Amino acid sequence: MDTTAHSETGKIKSLFIKKVQQAFISDAHIDQYWQQLNYLGKPDISIATDEYKNFEAILQEYGATIYYLPQDEIVNMDSIYCRDAAIATDKGMILCNMGKAARIQEPLAEKKAFEANGIPVLGSITAPGTIEGGDVAWLDEHTLAVGHTYRTNEEGIRQLTALLQPLDVQVITVELPHYKGPSDVFHLMSILSPVDTNIAVVYSPLMPITFRNLLLQRGYQLVEVPEEEFESMGCNVLALAPGVCLMVDGNPKTKTALEAAGCKVIVYKGEEISVKGGGGPTCLTRPVSRCR
C-alpha cells in the first residue's frame, strides 16, 4: 500500500520512539531534571518502565516498524516526547528548533538517529525561528495546521512554509491563547487530535473560532473533550489507523464519545510517562510514514 508522511490518521507504517530507560535513564537523572522541566510530579522510574512496556506492546501489535532513539547525553528526560523535535514530510524530516530552551539539543540528537537509519533530512528550522512538532498537525496531504504559540513563533512558521512550498503544502497558522503562559506546555495538539479523515478530538474552549469553523467547513465531526478531562490529556489521542485511537486511561467521557463516533479506543496507563510530563501518545511517538 502507498505511504505518506502527510497524515495524522493513516495506519502507522513506521515511527520513532524513545524508551524510558534511554530517556529517564535513572532516578538520579529524574531528580536532576523533573522540577526544572515543570513536571507535575517526580516520575517513578519503575512504574514508568512498566507503563512504557505496555505502550510499546500496543504499537507492536499494530504492526508498525519501530525505530528506537538511543540514549544521548546531550538531551534530558523530556526527549521521551520525541514528536516535538522533528516534522515528517514525504521528502524527509524537518528538524525543529525548540521553543523550550531545556530541549534545544533534541533535534540534533534525532538527526543522528535519522541518519543512522537511512532517513533523509529535508531541512532545519534555525534561530531566531522556533517550532515544535506538537504544534503541527496534518489536516490532509496538502494542508498543515501550525499553532502560533510560545514554543512556535512567526519566523519558525515562515521557515517551515518555505520548506514545504515545493511540496505543494499549504500552511495554516492557528493563533493560540496565552493560557498558562510561557512555562507551560501548550501546543496545537493539546487541543486537536485528528483520528480519522473526518473526525477530530478537540477542546473547544481553547480553540480559535476561525480554526474551529474551518474544521467544520472541511467536514470534520468534532469529538468534544469535557473540561474535567482536559488536564488528564483527554484531547491527546494518537490514531494508530483510521478510527483506531490510543489514549491515556482515565478519560472515560472522551472515550465514550469517540466510541459513539464509531472509533475503536485503546487505553494505556500513563500517569508516569504522560500525565506528569504533559505528553500523551502523540507526543511519545514520531511517526515517519502512514498508509494513504
In the block, residue with C-alpha cell 515544535: 132
| pLDDT score, position 1 | 65
Contact 282, 236 (CB under 8 A): yes
pLDDT of 16:
98
Q: Kindly give the confidence (pLDDT) of every residue in the chain, 292 residues in length, as a single tens digit, with 9 standing for 90 and above.
A: 699 999 999 999 999 999 999 999 999 999 999 999 999 999 999 999 999 999 999 999 999 999 999 999 999 999 999 999 999 999 999 999 999 999 999 999 999 999 999 999 999 999 999 999 999 999 999 999 999 999 999 999 999 999 999 999 999 999 999 999 898 889 999 999 999 999 999 999 999 999 999 999 999 999 999 999 999 999 999 999 999 999 999 999 999 999 999 999 999 999 999 999 999 999 999 999 999 9
> Would you say the pTM of this structure is higher than 0.85?
yes
CA–CA dist 272, 174 (Å, integer): 30
Q: Is the CB of residue 8 less than 8 Å from the CB of residue 239?
A: yes
Query: Do the strands 121-124 and 92-95 form a parallel or antiparallel pair, or are they unpaired?
Result: parallel
Domain total in the chain: 1
| Boundaries of domain holding 45 | 3-291
Report the CATH number at residue 150: 3.75.10.10
